[in-house]
Amino acid sequence: KASQDGRLMIVTNSRYMERFIKEAAGEPLASHVRTVALGVDTRLFTHGRRREARQILGLPQDRFIILTAASNIDDERKGLPLLIEALKGRTDLHDVVLVIIGWGKSIPETPCEVRFTGYAQDERLVALYFQAADIFVGPSKEEALGQTFIEAGACGTPSVAFNLGGIPDAVVDGVTGLLVEQRSA
């Protein structure tokens, strides 16, 4: 994109991508790279509607709901196998429901109930899932930003994610969620 004075401007969505582009481009382009934070529609992504959201979605009121999402859950980089492995190590998951949003062909066997929604394009529906969840787990091994973490936070749903890529721009550790250093189940 060109700035008003005709100079080249490169805009990224996270500090991670800004550093990446600056290192890749080198000087003189590095001085033209800026981060512009992505926003979220807080009229849709808002908190305080858990009971109503669960009722609309047909989710149980009395169970702990873990939400995870990826455009393609079969993509190894999105880390669903890590989340499933972490759950398999537990024996106390009788009151847990794992809700998975995204494209995908196979859902691994887990020790808790799984509800697979498929890909959700309607932002209102996605917001309802965030509002219904007790926690959002994003086990991505690579992430330029992670808009889903911002949406979860806007809904008052804490996130758990690996401290990598652009995720620290989306999750405020200890405030809107937890950032985990060790990248394993």
Q: What CA–CA distances, in Å, run from 59 to 19, 82, 152, 172?
A: 41, 24, 17, 28
CA angle 110, 148, 145 (to 5 degrees): 115
Buried b (16+ CB within 10 A) or exposed e, 98-125: bbbbbebeeeeebbbebbeeeeeeeeee
In degrees, rounded to 5, the angle at the alpha carbon of residue 46 between the alpha carbons of residues 50 and 151 is: 100
pLDDT at residue number 135:
98
Identify the pLDDT of residue 104.
82
Which pLDDT does position 7 carry in this prediction? 72
Whether 163 and 173 have beta carbons less than 8 Å apart is answered as: yes
Model confidence, pTM: 0.89
Please tell me the predicted confidence (pLDDT) of residue 2.
52
CB 44 within 8 A of CB 124: yes
pLDDT digit string (tens) for the chain, length 185 residues: 555 566 788 899 898 999 999 999 888 888 889 999 888 999 999 987 899 999 999 999 999 999 999 888 888 899 999 999 999 978 789 999 999 999 887 777 888 999 999 889 899 999 999 999 999 999 999 998 889 999 999 999 999 999 999 999 999 999 999 999 999 99
